[in-house]
């Protein structure tokens, strides 16, 4: 029950919602990671930022040897700059990983209404779909994978992928027939032919980009 409530809080009508700026699940690990990133082996990976902790040590030496309000102020500001930079990086990484986890969970937990050759339909896991399969999506359904509409027209919420809150119209034929896995059908009924194999969808590539992002 608690797992279901947690998943519901991370999504809006089945679509991942943006993480808040001060999300506890992101901020707390980020505070720990910002300290761990003070390790010189971590800092040296970014030569530009590595100059700042070096300057901090030089300024600290000067403050100890020739102590003055100015040198101690400079040392403090440089130290705060290093910690804040590490914290900002840790927050960005944490938000990306959390969003990727939510997207991955949504993909793993979603089902699809597969249309069989005899015209009947059966419910299967979205992960089992293959290129060329036909699926039925109606109002309220999450499109299980990347595909092309072969029948019908529908209003689709693509905010989970593009960030655009306004729904778009997708219909069979023409330039507006392509749909993306993870988006939500808001109205009507469409039949979608799957055009991407598992692991090669737009959602998979987006998760890979988020997880592989560097400062």
Examine the domain organization and report whether 56 and 115 are in the same domain.
no
Helix (H, G, I), strand (E, B), or coil: what is residue 17? coil
* Residue of higher predicted confidence among 104 and 75: 75
- Of the pLDDT bands very low, low, confident and very high (cuts 50, 70, 90), residue 152 is very high
Examine the domain organization and report whether 92 and 127 are in the same domain.
no
- Of the pLDDT bands very low, low, confident and very high (cuts 50, 70, 90), residue 150 is very high
pLDDT digits (tens, 9 = 90+) for 188-200: 999 999 998 877 7
Examine the domain organization and report whether 97 and 117 are in the same domain.
no
Examine the domain organization and report whether 135 and 71 are in the same domain.
no
142: containing domain? 111-198
Does the pLDDT value for residue 201 go beyond 90? Answer: no
- Of the pLDDT bands very low, low, confident and very high (cuts 50, 70, 90), residue 117 is confident
Examine the domain organization and report whether 103 and 120 are in the same domain.
no
- Of the pLDDT bands very low, low, confident and very high (cuts 50, 70, 90), residue 154 is very high
- 206 lies in some domain: no
Q: Which residues contact 194 (CB under 8 A, 6 or more apart)?
A: 129, 130, 131, 132, 133, 134, 135, 144, 145, 146, 147
For range 37-46, the mean pLDDT: 76
- 39 lies in some domain: yes
Beta strands 168-171 and 178-179: pairing type? unpaired
Examine the domain organization and report whether 160 and 191 are in the same domain.
yes
By CB neighbour count within 10 A (0-12 exposed, 13-18 middle, 19+ buried), where does 187 fall?
A: middle
Examine the domain organization and report whether 117 and 158 are in the same domain.
yes
Examine the domain organization and report whether 87 and 50 are in the same domain.
yes
Provide the number of structural domains found in the chain.
Answer: 2
pTM of the model: 0.56
By CB neighbour count within 10 A (0-12 exposed, 13-18 middle, 19+ buried), where does 65 fall?
A: exposed
Q: What is the pLDDT of residue 54?
A: 85
- 214 lies in some domain: no
- 86 lies in some domain: yes
Angle (nearest 5°) at CA 130 between 125 and 131? 145
- 191 lies in some domain: yes
Examine the domain organization and report whether 173 and 135 are in the same domain.
yes
Residue 145: name the closest of 200, 208, 194, 204 by CA: 194
Q: What is the pLDDT of residue 148?
A: 93
- 139 lies in some domain: yes
Examine the domain organization and report whether 26 and 84 are in the same domain.
yes
Examine the domain organization and report whether 6 and 77 are in the same domain.
yes
- 140 lies in some domain: yes
Q: What is the pLDDT of residue 19?
A: 52
Examine the domain organization and report whether 190 and 132 are in the same domain.
yes
pLDDT > 90 fraction of the chain, expressed in percent and rounded: 12
Does the pLDDT value for residue 90 go beyond 60? Answer: yes
For range 158-182, the mean pLDDT: 83
Identify the top-confidence range among 18-22, 108-112, 121-125, 134-138. 134-138
């Amino acid at each position: 029950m608690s797992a279901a409530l947690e998943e519901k809080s991370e999504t809006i009508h089945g679509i991942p919602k943006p993480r808040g700026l001060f999300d506890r699940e992101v901020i707390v690990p980020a505070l720990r990671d910002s300290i761990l990133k003070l390790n010189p082996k971590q800092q040296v990976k970014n030569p530009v930022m590595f100059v700042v902790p070096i300057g901090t040590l030089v300024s600290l030496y000067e403050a100890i040897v020739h102590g003055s309000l100015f040198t101690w102020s400079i040392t403090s500001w440089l130290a705060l700059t290093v910690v804040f930079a590490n914290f900002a990086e840790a927050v960005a990484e944490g938000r990306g990983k959390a969003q990727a986890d939510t997207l991955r969970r949504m993909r793993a937990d979603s089902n699809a209404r597969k249309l069989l050759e005899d015209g009947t339909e059966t419910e299967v896991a979205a992960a089992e779909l293959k290129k060329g399969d036909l699926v039925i999506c109606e109002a309220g359904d999450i499109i299980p994978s990347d595909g092309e509409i072969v029948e019908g027209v529908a209003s689709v919420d693509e905010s989970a992928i593009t960030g655009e809150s306004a729904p778009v119209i997708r219909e069979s034929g023409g330039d507006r027939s392509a749909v993306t896995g993870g988006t939500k059908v808001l109205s009507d009924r469409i039949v979608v032919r799957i055009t991407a194999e598992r692991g090669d969808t737009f959602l998979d590539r987006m998760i890979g980009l988020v997880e592989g992002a560097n400062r």
